[in-house]
Chain A
């Protein structure tokens, strides 16, 4: 029941969805988006691919195992929370910001919340992949 249309669509939509998910993650701090939606979208890319090509091929495609993604996600979030505690002696989960001057007054701001959000992103994507693969490989 694998449809050719779905296959071609999935093949081309996957990179698009993945890049869109990354954009959502990065812009999330100032505009609608964020790690959760981004992670959902990244997971969707693989769900779509899985529907078109089956579980085995999707598993081959994944560079990292879903469990590793989940673990990394938790680790990122935890590390971002502990950063403030270790670096500045502040409270746990306090944001830390680094300003990277680019041109004049304009500076690129990088903070521990982005690390936290990346953790959420990885965890959600990994969870979706894990659940989808488990269901598809069942029976």
Chain B
């Protein structure tokens, strides 16, 4: 099966989703989930071949002239991501089918969600940078629609806009970075670049390209200092957070870094910048999660921390770190998707996400409690979950980190401790503790709401017990794609007593200690946040946007003032100045004034008519007379067209002018009386503009006539009109055949203008609007 078919199937499903939802309301989640799960099954069946070293690739020409093609490749890395996207995506659809029931327009929601899934799949499969960029942007757009799904809430709209602007700006930087990257190679094909990395790392454009690409990846993955959009995005419905903010959207940036790693791994700067930004984000995210009270916000900040960890692991670039990267990627996807879904369940069944308003839920929802506990075990890195193996590997990587190991280890230790604290808090404060007065009586979530989380935690548990399964299947082949020289590490749940195990034990003990002094810990975190983290990134961002809007409004008000006469003046003055400048630059050729003597009387009469009508227009005492006089000017011109056998032009002009006068008269009928004449000074000004414009037209026509005839485009048309287009009327053939695309544009403008006129005249605002 072609990889492109997978994408086409999912995009088709996105468009079909509203209809499926319309007819099969109750079961739509399960039915819509079927296709992604089938795709997942197909991908799963490819695992043996891919881990044996096969790489599926296919290429479709898109703009071959610019070396821009769509190339899809299924190797270890893209297979791993593709399975996460479709597998978790399918489970999320089952969950969303029930979760979104109380919402309106669920069909649209499914459509956006599947569209996002398909774009994300396209992103991880693409190896042509332009193709990758297009899918990258599609994920940004669909995530905007998903985050802002509750668009009647202003906070949701703000959060969606913030996410879109930040990831969108990052996307632009990324595109620029891709273009710079392509310069040394002359192609956008990533596989070609990876085959010869020195060409890029030795190039003088390498540093600018690197900065731009990091900007793109960091904004997408919510890396400090761009981390603030992710907690804001918690305005999205829970299925969105569970999908986008655990396994997919935010991981796109991490995916890109992993994809580019073999290309960049000759560069010191690459590793330093990833380590510094990764370690900072890991710490900041974990720290900020302490003082939060909203379950989803807590999870969002731990996600920020996890993204930092992943970036740091790529930057550390050792055998352990690369292995840890892949394992932690899976670990995080499993537990975070589960936790977000469970957060949604808790909100659904109790009406709140505030941790302080929850307690003793264990008595009401025992199954949910079990699932949540297992996921939290994984998050805090305790056995027997896969999270334990992930954390052990990360510690191993940090202990052996080259360069700044003590610093990174300290940051990592603190971040992990906070994670343990947060996990304990999420477990004990929600499911144990005091019984609180609930606004609605909580009960066990329905089967559709529990299926996805249950499957994910069970996988996490199973893989924790038998880790060599993933090592043999996906890790080995994914390592080949991101870091060809790295050997896979033997994954075991029991490593024996060593430094890493000691670190884990201390981490957990410290976490427990923090929890025992919970009130003090939280109070301390709040105090520090208030005193030293006063800078509200999100608020700063909106201030900046506000300032920008203010400036653009001012600029627009200056240029687009809304006075028709000044627009006309601007156009006339600008044209006159530019054309006069060109006329003055070209030497004046000789004009045969003698030929003027032979002008027939007929032309003189028509010219006199035109001039007289023009004067009549200027001196007219009413608008109607002015309209009719200016119509006369045009009729005079059409007479000239006829005598020079421009019949087409002439009839069109006569029709247009007739209609102008009629419509003008109709409009005049509604206008107030013509009382305010323009003053003398403005008349002089207008006269000067008119003279400048009229005189350049005259001089231009005379000069054009005097210039020797050169190769004329009209020759082509008159020669080819009949043979190629079967038409003898050249004007018409040009309009409807040779230049049909132009005409298409023009009639579109006409249609828009008609709608505009209709709107102006017909749509009346109610008072107060």
A-to-B contact residues, CB < 8 Å: 28-37, 40-41, 43-44, 47, 51, 66, 70, 73-74, 77-78, 80-81, 92-93, 95, 97, 109, 111, 113-114, 116-117, 119-120, 123-124, 126-128, 130-132, 134-139
Contacts and interface: CB of A to CB of B under 8 A. Distances in A.
A45 to B, nearest CB: 11
Contacts of A119: 747
B560 interface: no
Contacts of A35: 735-736
Contact of A120 (B651, B655, B726, B747): B747
Contact of B751 (A32, A74, A109): A74
A81 B740 contact: yes
Contacts of A109: 726
B655 A44 contact: yes
Given A32-B647, A97-B726, A138-B761, A117 B747 contact: no
Contacts of A47: 659, 662-663
A16 to B, nearest CB: 15
6 contacts: A36-B735, A77-B740, A78-B744, A113-B736, A120-B736, A135-B670
Contacts of B733: 29, 113
B737 interface: yes
Contacts of A32: 647-648, 651, 729, 731
A126 B755 CA distance: 11
Contacts of B762: 134, 137
Top 7 closest A-B pairs, CB basis? A127-B754, A40-B655, A30-B728, A32-B647, A113-B736, A29-B727, A134-B761
B509 to A, nearest CB: 70
A124 B750 contact: yes
A106 B744 CA distance: 32
Interface residues of B, number: 40
A92 B750 contact: no
Contacts of B652: 36-37, 40
A4 to B, nearest CB: 19
A30 B736 CA distance: 12
Given A81-B744, A93-B744, A29 B663 contact: no
B754 A40 contact: no
B666 interface: yes
A92 B741 contact: yes
Given A36-B652, A37-B651, A31 B741 contact: no
B725 interface: yes
A77 B740 CA distance: 9
Contacts of B754: 66, 70, 126-127, 130-131
A116 B729 contact: no
Contacts of B663: 47, 131-132, 135
A117 B732 contact: yes
Contacts of B667: 135
B756 to A, nearest CB: 10
Nearest to A80: B740
A36 B729 CA distance: 14
B9 interface: no
Contacts of A126: 754
A92 B739 CA distance: 11
Nearest to A78: B744
Contacts of B727: 29-30, 113
Given A29-B728, A47-B662, A97-B726, A34 B747 contact: no
Interface string B637-673: 0000000000110011001101100110011001000
B757 interface: yes
A78 B751 CA distance: 14
Contact of B648 (A34, A74, A117): A34
B716 to A, nearest CB: 16
Contacts of B751: 70, 73-74, 123, 127
A80 B663 CA distance: 32
Contacts of B451: none
Contacts of A74: 747-748, 751
Contacts of A130: 754, 757-758
A123 B747 contact: yes
Contact of A95 (B658, B731, B737): B737
A37 B726 contact: no
Most chain-B Cβ atoms within 10 A of its Cβ — which of A30, A73, A109, A137? A30
B757 A131 contact: yes
A83 to B, nearest CB: 11
B743 interface: yes
B127 to A, nearest CB: 28
A59 B766 CA distance: 26
Contacts of B736: 29, 34-35, 113-114, 116-117, 120
B385 to A, nearest CB: 56
Given A36-B652, A81-B744, A117-B732, A134 B757 contact: yes
Given A40-B652, A113-B740, 5 more contacts: A78-B744, A95-B724, A95-B726, A95-B737, A138-B761
Contacts of A92: 741
A120 B659 CA distance: 17
A36 B651 CA distance: 10
B753 interface: yes
Contacts of A134: 757-758, 761-762
Interface in B666-725: 666-667, 670, 724-725
Given A29-B728, A30-B729, A135-B761, A40 B744 contact: no
Contact of A44 (B658, B735, B743, B744): B658
Most chain-A Cβ atoms within 10 A of its Cβ — which of B735, B736, B758? B736
A47 B725 CA distance: 34
Most chain-A Cβ atoms within 10 A of its Cβ — which of B655, B658, B667, B762? B655
